[in-house]
Structure 1
Amino acid sequence: MRIKDVVLGQYIRSPDGTQPSYLLTPWGEQITRVRVMGTVVDKFLREDQNYATLRIDDGSETVSIRGWQEAAKELEKFSLGDIIDVIGRIREFNGEIYLTPELLIRVEDPNWELVRELEIIAMRREAIAAGVRPKFIKVETGGPDIAASRDVTEAAEAEEEPLPVVSDELKKKVAIAIEKLDTGSGVEPITIANELNLSLSQINDALRVMFVEGDVFEPAAGKFRLAR
């Protein structure tokens, strides 16, 4: 799952505490644990070494992984720049979604990030074919301060934005441009717009539709590649 689909989900607690809490994702899934992969972009270890956090980024969003006591010792083994595959329980505190780790694996080959992205795209295509459309939640995020555990994401009400109408011809042109311009790290929308002599808004609309339909993906924020 993309980290974006986790942090933009809605954390649901049982009103009377008799049922387990769960996350309602933008795709309508109800989950209590998740598997994500990303690069460590921040790290904190408390002086007594009984509490540690990592923040990982998969190009779509970032999420905090928090551990106490033995789990803190496991998190301490990782360094900035490491790519890790995480299976964790979903938790929420002060409006922020975070994970408590159950399994942490260091990924040595960065190509596994692409493999994971293609797996996600395949699953999303199946969901779209079944008529599912994501409902993303608007968020406002304060500046990160992992050491003080103050990085808070406050979720607002879910609001579904209709997809723009984009012709198949335009999507085909965008796909051809990406194939031509992509050197391996993805292509920015402005580069595609310049190549096709079209407005940036037209390209952004096309990419948004193609992303939802599973034709393109973002290997890094703001860059797009074809899903082959």
Structure 2
Amino acid sequence: MKIEDIVLGRYIRSPDGTQPSFLLTPWGEQVTRVRVMGTLVDKFIREDQNYATLRIDDGSETISLRAWQEGAKEFDKFNLGDTVDVIGRVREFQGEIYLTPELLIRVEDLNWELVRELEIIATRREAIAAGVRPKFARLEPKELKITATQEVGTEAAEAEEEPLPVVPDELKKKVAIAIDKLDTGSGVEPIKIANELNLSLSQVNDILRVMFVEGDVFEPTAGKFRLAR
């Protein structure tokens, strides 16, 4: 799909965690994994190579690819200007939708860009012929709340990016120690960290947000955090 289909979608989480999270695209598709092709326009690899990001652009929008640990080292193989084909899982953190790549390939023959474009056009024509009308407007991440007479809403709301809070290094270290202590292999929920450190949940969420952006933690599954090491 086009990158705009992803970043203009709505990331929906089950409020109790019993259902898998998914992305509701402007075309009404519910997806957890996507395939996109674009040009690498930005690259960041942390000095310890345990966290890296790439940003790709396909002419419709841009999206961030994020990786930790061994996955981060793979990003070093790619250079600005490369055209890449990506299969990745859709993730969302603090309002930003991004991808964690499962497959990342450099495209040597740029004719494949035209092939991909034609594939997407054909798919969209089929959807339109079936009566689907896309809703291209930026949608907020939202918890899944469905009743017998209510479907998932698709009304748009412009999401404003909040500035990162100022978090002392001491608090980040305490959260890192708590995660290291509580993590049994699948990650730790923020509420458990809050209880361990006697902090409010909002404080812990702010700290995790900063640590996530700085590459110190990652989210292996929605709502759980692990140390990037």
Paired amino acid for 1:114: L
2:30 aligned partner: 30
Alpha-carbon distance in structure 2 between the residues aligned to 1:90 and 1:77: 22
1:64 aligned partner: 64
Higher mean alpha-carbon deviation, 92-101 vs 106-115, is at: 106-115
Alpha carbons of structure 1 residues 82 and 42: separation in structure 2 relative to 1, 3 Å: same
Question: What is the CA distance between 1:141 and its match in structure 2?
Answer: 6.6
Alpha-carbon distance in structure 1 between the residues aligned to 2:50 and 2:44: 11
Alpha-carbon distance in structure 2 between the residues aligned to 1:63 and 1:8: 11
1:79 aligned partner: 79
Alpha-carbon distance in structure 2 between the residues aligned to 1:3 and 1:45: 22
Alpha-carbon distance in structure 2 between the residues aligned to 1:17 and 1:37: 31
Q: How does 1:194-209 map to 2 (within 5 A)?
A: none
Q: How does 1:37-52 map to 2 (within 5 A)?
A: 37-52=37-52
TM-score w.r.t. length of structure 2:
0.61
Alpha-carbon distance in structure 1 between the residues aligned to 2:160 and 2:78: 25
SS of residue paired to 1:79: coil
Alpha-carbon distance in structure 2 between the residues aligned to 1:90 and 1:33: 6
TM-score w.r.t. length of structure 1:
0.62
SS of residue paired to 1:20: coil
2:19 aligned partner: 19
Q: CA RMSD in A?
A: 2.0
Question: What is the CA distance between 1:29 and its match in structure 2?
Answer: 0.2
Asked whether the 8 Å contact 2:86–2:103 carries over to 1, the reply is yes
Alpha-carbon distance in structure 2 between the residues aligned to 1:111 and 1:65: 23
1:7 aligned partner: 7
In structure 2, list runs of 5 or more residues that go unmatched: 139-157, 162-211, 215-229
Question: What is the CA distance between 1:76 and its match in structure 2?
Answer: 1.6
Alpha-carbon distance in structure 2 between the residues aligned to 1:75 and 1:97: 19
1:127 aligned partner: 127
Asked whether the 8 Å contact 2:95–2:159 carries over to 1, the reply is no
2:96 aligned partner: 96
SS of residue paired to 1:80: coil
Asked whether the 8 Å contact 2:37–2:84 carries over to 1, the reply is yes
Alpha-carbon distance in structure 1 between the residues aligned to 2:66 and 2:45: 10
2:114 aligned partner: 114
Question: What is the CA distance between 1:137 and its match in structure 2?
Answer: 2.3
Question: What is the CA distance between 1:149 and its match in structure 2?
Answer: 3.8
Paired amino acid for 2:112: W
Paired amino acid for 1:42: D
Q: Could you list the per-position Cα deviations for residues 158-217 of structure 1 after superposition, in whole angstroms to 9, with x for gaps in the alignment?
A: xxxxxxxxxxxxxxxxxxxxxxxxxxxxxxxxxxxxxxxxxxxxxxxxxxxxxxxxxxxx
Alpha-carbon distance in structure 2 between the residues aligned to 1:102 and 1:35: 10
Q: State the percentage of identical aligned residues.
A: 79
SS of residue paired to 2:85: strand
1:214 aligned partner: none
Question: What is the CA distance between 1:12 and its match in structure 2?
Answer: 0.2
Alpha carbons of structure 1 residues 51 and 92: separation in structure 2 relative to 1, 3 Å: same
Question: What is the CA distance between 1:140 and its match in structure 2?
Answer: 5.2
Give the length in aligned residue pairs.
147
SS of residue paired to 1:137: coil
